[in-house]
Structure 1
Amino acid sequence: MSSPLNLQIAGLLTLLPLAVLAVTAKLQRNFQFWLFLAAAIAGCGGVFVQSMAHGWEAGLSANLWASCAVSLIAFAALSAVNAEAVRLAALLLPYLILFALLALLFASFSEPSPSVASAAWFRAHVVLAVASYGVLTLGAIAGLAVLIQERALKRRQSGWSERALPPLLEAEGLQIKLLVWAAIFMAAALASGFANTFMESGSWPQISHKVLLSILAFLVLLGLLITHHMTGIRGRRAARWFLAGYLLLTLGYPGVKFVKDVLLG
């Protein structure tokens, strides 16, 4: 059962104050920032928790809200340890607002919860899968910030990107840190997914579009991580590979659900 429409609208509205401050380059890591961020997490998280009230809802809308909530939680954790990470909100919040709008648009499309042999294993897999996508979303935002800052630097332009986004070197550092965590969460999500399927059917999962795209995304991120360790790759090249991995996982996660729920449903 999808969350009530008024609750989803409220979740969307909680994203707006932080987005306005971030896009206008007026966001600072102060009490107001934490207050608005807590409200956004509560708003999106409330929709996600309500959709979980009667078991995991596998539909597109619920997954988009879950991605918003987990991305905000990852953003809060990163902002707590790195002051410059706050400035990623200028790209992250508009992107999450888009997710929330799509969740509202497709709220009437739902997918029944799958039957599972072990509820504990399945819940662990869901948490790890959503966490990996949330962390990867934040990393992709850092990669996008790298591309924008490099382009502005080459054109010797100082404007919105300089005021609103993290400095280039800081954005590169955030991207690599998030790459490590995304690879860890993805490895755990894939392992728990394989284990859950094996416990349920006694065999390994079939290579569906979702599984194939998720594995390809993990291999791209793992390859980028190894290449960075060996050659020190960074900047625009690393950002493009990161975004390629994110695109693959997006096609495999909300993309497949869009096809199943909306186009075929």
Structure 2
Amino acid sequence: MAKRKRNLTLESQKSDSRPDNSLYTSIYGNLDPKNELSTKTENKSNKNKTTVGNLKDKDYLSFLAEKSGESLSLWKQRIENKVLHLKKESEKTSLVLGVSSVDHYVRLPFSKFSGISNTKGKKLGLFTIKSVPYKHALEFNSLWQDYAKKLLGSPKTHLNASKLVAMLDLHGSLLEVVKSNCTSYVGVIGIVLKETQNGFSIVDKEDKVRFILKNSSVFKLNYEEWSFFIYGKHIMASASQRTKSKLKDKSTL
């Protein structure tokens, strides 16, 4: 009895297993039952690819409209006068190239002056006036006289005139040093080439450029019938600062 039971179990196992014969292969083929689902999905994807590939441009729009559930007219309105790249070329990622994906610009802090600083300019000698011929300085003086006539005109009183002279730009004016703590400055007559907060750079008839301090000296300025005596300690500012400042009327400047 035990032998018969064993034979029956073996026969049942054989019946459950797939028979390897020509009749089975002719009906089912050489496919495994486990891989049937994967082959079905692959066939569906291949069908979709072939349908999309075989479609023309007009048919492709209708295909997209049917797929989205919208009308053809809406799709045509979206695509009119637009360049569409349907097939994108494969590009290497930023990780492979080693370059940042976003192009950005470094914003530097705003600065009005982007050239040479004052300290560098002084070291290079850009602000120093070595020698200027007196003939060229006379032409500069003629330009200053035209400028002074436009600004001063013909002043009626010395108070009005002194207030206007205090606001004048003295570049190109003819100055004479009347008094000074430094005796070598006294009697120097020349045309102003450069004015700073502390002094004047003056060229004389011998083509020599001298720097005369304002604080310790008194200057004389002649204009038509008028002669003005300017105390250097009252104009201790640059030309640009002096033109902006408002001064009170004084008998002496």
- Whether TM-score is above 0.5 comes out as no
| TM-score normalised by the chain length of structure 1 | 0.24
Higher strand share: 2
Higher helix share: 1
State which structure, 1 or 2, has the greater radius of gyration over its C-alpha atoms: 2
Relative contact order (C-alpha < 8 Å, sep 6+): which is higher? 1
